[in-house]
Amino acid sequence: MESWINIPEDTDFTIYNIPFGIYTNDDVNNHIATAMGNYVIDLDVLHKRGYFKDVDLPEDIFQSRFLNPFINLGKEKTNAVRLRLQKLFIKGSTLEKDPDTRNKAFLNRQDVQMLLPVNIPNYTDFYSSIEHATNVGTMFRDPENALLPNWKHLPVGYHGRASSIVVSETPIYRPKGQVKDPSKNSPDFGPTRRLDFELEMAFITGKENKLGDPVSTEEAEEYIFGFVLFNDWSARDIQVWEYVPLGPFLGKNFASSISPWVVTLEALEPFKVASPEQTPEVLPYLIFSGNKNFDINLEVSIQPENSTEKTVCHSNFKYMYWNINQQLAHHTVNGCNVKVGDMYASGTISGPTAQSYGSMLELSWKGTKPINMPDGSSRVFINDGDTVIMRGHALKNGIRVGFGEVRTKVLPAKK
């Protein structure tokens, strides 16, 4: 498809993408938009001008603080909107010949503020990268038995804190908590000294099931609307002291950061690839067919304050041992009901090489291998003033679909 819109060659937001997000500026209070190149395109303007008249949408559907009402229309409607936008952006379309509408609907990205795209009723974090789980098990337990006995039998996960998920460009404060020095008999209290990022993806559910009704691996994609980049911030020293016996708490719930554009499952369909072989064979409710992993290139950079950024990680979503169909099937097999807007993070995405490890815990190997920064400093974990930037895109046969970035600056702990 060739668009009449002038977009940069390496943009994540091509005519093959058509993501959805929420923007605001001095003139508009919370409208649903899509992105093409460096443009943010107000869908309410297009709707008012009749460009979706045969899709049968509510009059004010794009005047919303969150995407939830739009997603709740169902995939038949949301896909119809996406496909209509693609037609409008193709050369020779009616929108190309309508400069008045274009002038009102097309906004420069630097002139708007992107907001948290969905109201998130619930948040779950999985632990689905075998490389990451093996690395962590090797560091903290027996290297010969790095994986716990249940790991290859089910997608391990825990319920996290939805209220502290924030959108890109939202700074976070260094968290405080209890930290236990191994040489001491009792813990101390103070700011974490081991603040870490975790490179993840997260899917968002767009359909609800009734309490008691599981979602099978075959049905799972009917329930998944799209994806965002996800930075699962972690305070490693707080986490290691608190997590026995019930798992992560203050070491995780202080903040998670996401990218502002939700890329639909349909846009990522061409980039599906085979999942890794799973041995031993999984139980019947986790068996799936077809390609369910995604070839999405991921990277993480650290930018010290008043300096340039350095890329410290190159990974890929295709490395995940447990795929999204299995994650949702396991999540609901006990009858758990899901809500529109629920967010499900993948767990840290690490690959087979040291350059593909998705956290500072692994990249610095528990603080023993410092990473040099452009300003002459080094990092084993994240410092105050650092900005962590995650980017992701899929590329195949010249077609690019990406997520933009999630960018977060770390501020000193509040006194």
pLDDT value of residue 12: 98
State the pLDDT at residue 119.
98
Q: Are 235 and 286 part of one and the same domain?
A: yes
Mean pLDDT value across residues 339-347: 98
To which residue do tokens 């996406």 refer? Answer: 82
Which of 115, 138, 167 is the endpoint of a domain?
A: 115
**If pLDDT is split at 50, 70 and 90, which confidence band does 303 have?**
very high
79 in a domain, yes or no? yes
For residue 264, name the pLDDT band (cuts at 50, 70, 90).
very high
Final residue before a domain boundary, out of 88, 115, 142? 115
Residue 79 maps to which CATH number? 2.30.30.230
Q: Is 131 annotated as a binding residue?
A: no
pLDDT at 205: 98
In terms of Cα–Cα distance, which of 121, 124, 123 is closest to 339?
121
What is the CATH number for 252?
3.90.850.10
Q: Are residues 69 and 192 in the same domain?
A: no
Tell me, yes or no, whether 103 and 195 share the same domain. Answer: no
127 is in an annotated binding site: yes
Boundary residue ending a domain (96, 115, 134): 115
> Is 54 annotated as contributing to ligand binding?
no
Confidence band for 103, pLDDT divided at 50, 70 and 90 = very high
194 phi, psi to nearest 5 deg: -130, 60
348 is in an annotated binding site: yes
Q: How many other β-carbons are positioned within 10 Å of the β-carbon of residue 186?
A: 7
* Total tally of structural domains belonging to the chain: 2
Q: Is 256 annotated as a binding residue?
A: yes
Q: Which tokens sit at 51?
A: 């460009």
Residues 250 and 390 in one domain: yes
Mean pLDDT on 82-101: 98
Any idea what the Cα angle at residue 194 is, between residues 190 and 197, rounded to 5°? 125
63 is in an annotated binding site: no
In-domain check, residue 331: yes
pLDDT over 70 percentage in the chain: 100
Predicted confidence (pLDDT) per residue in 221-258, tens digit: 999 999 999 999 999 999 999 999 999 999 999 999 99
How many CB atoms lie under 10 A from the CB of residue 353? Answer: 10
Residue 26 annotated in ligand binding: no
- pLDDT band at residue 278 under the 50/70/90 scheme: very high
pLDDT in tens, 41-86: 999 999 999 999 999 999 999 999 999 999 999 999 999 999 999 9
| pLDDT band at residue 384 under the 50/70/90 scheme | very high
Catalytic residues: 132
Section 371-396 average pLDDT: 98
pLDDT confidence tier of residue 328, bands split at 50, 70 and 90 = very high
Query: What domain range includes position 63?
Result: 21-115
pLDDT, tens only, 183-203: 999 999 999 999 999 999 999
In a domain, residue 339? The reply is yes
Query: Taking Cα atoms as reference points, which of 230, 127, 126, 243 lies closest to residue 177?
Result: 243
78 domain residue, yes or no: yes
Residue 405 near residue 389, CB atoms below 8 Å: yes
Mean pLDDT, rounded, of the chain: 97
